[in-house]
């Protein structure tokens, strides 16, 4: 059997393959044009990426410690994951509770809408001045950001669930709590995937900025100290670490959501009897 190839699909695949190498080539020639001191070359950055994992005299000289990037990467990773996971769980739970109880929803909706208008970074100096530059305060900002992001998206997703699903389940004798657990929650998960994926990417950026404003460790602290010695190669390495961690977490999150919503693909294929 002769296979037919879609020219558009082939072009899309080629563009995906050459995008990153093309950016590296542009970066290389820009480094030559500007000078390695102003813009370190890709070779220098990628080489130093591995040599600075566990030790770096330049990081030590800048004031970020002699143990390389790994302790700072681990610190940022843990703060983001703890803060975002807890805040997202709280936002998902509260969002469903606010839709289950209209009185709760009416009571909390206005304060949540007010807090949403305030950039998360604006809370950092407030919390630092009131409670100190502690680890828990850094995590608290991410918790608050994740909560505000997910709670609003959860309430919106619940509103998009066809009411007939809930009425049918309740007609079969299911309690309101069970309807939300077994009917509403699975239905809103596909819609929440986008909110979770966008939110976790932004959380990395916010955490780095928080650490730059005052932290004992983290990638943001590396950025804060290395800017004084013009160590642009270390800043590039920190950016690569953030991109790698954010990409891995995003892939894992997508896989978990696909596993949790695999029933959806069966419904789309008409395989309802297999569920």
State residue 269's pLDDT score. Answer: 54
| 3-class state of residue 163 by DSSP | helix
This prediction's pTM: 0.82
Sorted by where each starts, the structural domains of the chain and their CATH numbers stand as: 69-154+185-260 (1.10.3720.10)
Q: What is the pLDDT along the chain (275 residues), one digit of tens a residue?
A: 445 566 777 777 777 778 888 888 998 899 898 888 888 889 989 998 999 899 888 888 878 888 889 999 999 999 999 999 999 999 999 999 988 888 888 888 888 888 888 887 888 888 888 877 778 888 888 999 999 999 999 998 888 888 888 788 888 777 878 888 888 888 888 888 888 888 888 899 889 988 888 788 889 989 988 877 878 889 999 999 999 999 899 888 888 877 766 655 555 555 544 44
Mind giving me the DSSP string for the chain? Answer: -PPP--HHHHHHHHHHHHHHHHHHHHHHHHHHHH-TTTS--HHHHHHHHHHTSS--HHHHHHTS-SS-SHHHHHHHHHHHHHHHHHHHHHHHHHHHHHHH-HHHHHHHHHHHHHHHTS-HHHHHHHHHHHH-S-HHHHHHHHHHHHHHHHHHHHHHHHHTS-HHHHHHHHHTT--HHHHIIIIIHHHHHHHHHHHHHHHHHHHHHHHHHHHHHS-SSSHHHHHHHHGGGT-HHHHHHHHHHHHHHHHHHHHHHHHHHHHHTHHHHHHHTT-GGG-
Residues 6+ apart with CB under 8 A from 121: 141, 206, 209, 210
Dihedral, 180, 181, 186, 190 alpha carbons, nearest 10? 70
pLDDT (tens digit per residue) in 132-147: 777 888 888 899 999 9
CB 68 within 8 A of CB 59: yes
CA distance 87 to 146: 5
State residue 151's pLDDT score. Answer: 92
The token pair at 148 is 């505000």
State residue 265's pLDDT score. Answer: 56
């Amino acid at each position: 059997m002769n296979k037919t190839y879609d020219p558009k699909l082939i072009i899309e695949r080629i563009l995906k393959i050459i995008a990153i190498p093309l950016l590296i080539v542009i970066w290389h020639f820009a480094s030559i044009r500007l000078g390695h001191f102003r813009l370190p070359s890709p070779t220098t950055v990628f080489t130093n990426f591995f040599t600075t994992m566990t030790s770096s005299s330049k990081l030590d000289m800048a004031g970020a410690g002699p143990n390389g990037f790994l302790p700072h990467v681990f610190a940022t990773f843990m703060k983001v994951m703890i803060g975002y996971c807890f805040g997202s769980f709280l936002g998902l739970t509260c969002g469903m509770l606010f839709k289950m109880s209209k009185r709760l929803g009416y009571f909390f909706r206005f304060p949540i809408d007010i807090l949403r208008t305030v950039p998360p970074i604006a809370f950092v100096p407030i919390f630092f001045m009131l409670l100190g530059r502690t680890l828990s305060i850094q995590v608290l900002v991410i918790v608050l950001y994740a909560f505000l992001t997910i709670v609003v998206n959860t309430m919106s997703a619940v509103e998009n669930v066809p009411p007939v699903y809930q009425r049918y389940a309740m007609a079969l004798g299911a309690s309101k709590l069970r309807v939300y657990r077994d009917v509403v929650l699975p239905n809103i998960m596909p819609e929440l995937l986008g909110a979770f994926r966008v939110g976790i990417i932004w959380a990395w950026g916010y955490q780095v900025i928080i650490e730059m404003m005052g932290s004992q460790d983290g990638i943001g602290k590396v950025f804060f100290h290395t800017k004084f010695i013009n160590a642009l190669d270390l800043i590039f390495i920190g950016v690569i670490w953030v991109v790698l961690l954010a990409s891995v977490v995003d892939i894992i999150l997508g896989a978990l959501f696909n596993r949790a919503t695999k029933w959806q693909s069966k419904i789309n294929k008409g395989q309802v009897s297999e569920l």
